[in-house]
Amino acid sequence: MFQFVETICIQDGQPKLLKYHQARLNWTWDNHFNGSPFVIDEILLQHIMPKQGRYKCRFLYNASEFRVQIEPYVVKPVFTLKLVEGKDMSYSYKSLSRTLLTELYSSKGKNDDIIIVNSKGELTDSYFANLAFYDGEGWYTPNTYLLKGVKRSFLIDRGILKEIKILKSNLQNFSKVSLINALLNLGELEIDIESIYN
């Protein structure tokens, strides 16, 4: 049974952000397993990558084995988000066990996704993505994230995204939010702040 996963974007035959995926895998490995971690790019070289389009590559692993699954990726539209109380839940590792996240997601009602709010009123992540908020001048991401996303880390390293504390009570300081993850680029899936509901 696999415990963890790295979800990697394959764009026109090229795996993206492998340095960030490997760093997160290494960190997960150091905190759960012994020995040397798997090296993702060496493993992916043994697989035939689709030459055109965007694909989702799931690298599933545990301490002794891995599996690579590749499938076409289609962006699912998100028009509305619901704020849900996650109290002080933790999702520090990209684990295949997402029971609490799924329970929170089931409370979205007629909305398309959720924004998880911790016990201090601070915003964290959505069900499947990190968050990037736009205030008319720049992009900002909560420093109270649940999962250290690879696209989030990449954008911070590039100076495109800045980490700050973002509270439920100051959402109106922003005009829109973009959902970002390994497969979703900044600005690709945007929701107006007015479309975030309690």
Neighbours of 93 (CB within 10 A): 17
The CATH code of domain 4-72 reads 3.30.470.10
CATH number for region 81-197: 3.20.10.10
Q: According to the model, what pLDDT value does residue 133 have?
A: 98
- Beta pairing class for 161-164 and 139-142: parallel
Question: Structural domain boundaries of the chain?
Answer: 4-72, 81-197
Question: Which sign, positive or negative, has the C-alpha torsion 155, 99, 56, 48?
Answer: positive
* 151-170: burial string, b at 16+ Cβ within 10 Å, e else: bbbbbeeeeebeeeebebee
What local confidence, expressed as pLDDT, does residue 87 receive? 87
Which helix (H) or strand (E) segment is 58 a member of? strand 54-61
Q: pLDDT of the chain along its 198 residues, tens only?
A: 899 999 999 999 999 999 999 999 999 999 999 999 999 999 999 998 899 999 999 999 999 999 999 999 999 999 999 999 998 899 999 999 999 999 999 999 999 999 999 999 999 999 999 999 999 999 999 999 999 999 999 999 999 999 999 999 999 999 999 999 999 999 999 999 999 999
Q: What is the pLDDT of residue 163?
A: 98
Q: Which amino acid is at 145?
A: Y
What is the predicted pLDDT for the residue at 88?
87
pTM (2 d.p.): 0.95
Q: What size, in residues, is the chain?
A: 198
* DSSP secondary structure code for residue 122 in this structure: B
Token pair 């990726």 is at which residue? 73
Query: In whole angstroms, what is the distance from residue 161 CA to residue 159 CA?
Result: 6
**Topology alike, domains 4-72 and 81-197:** no
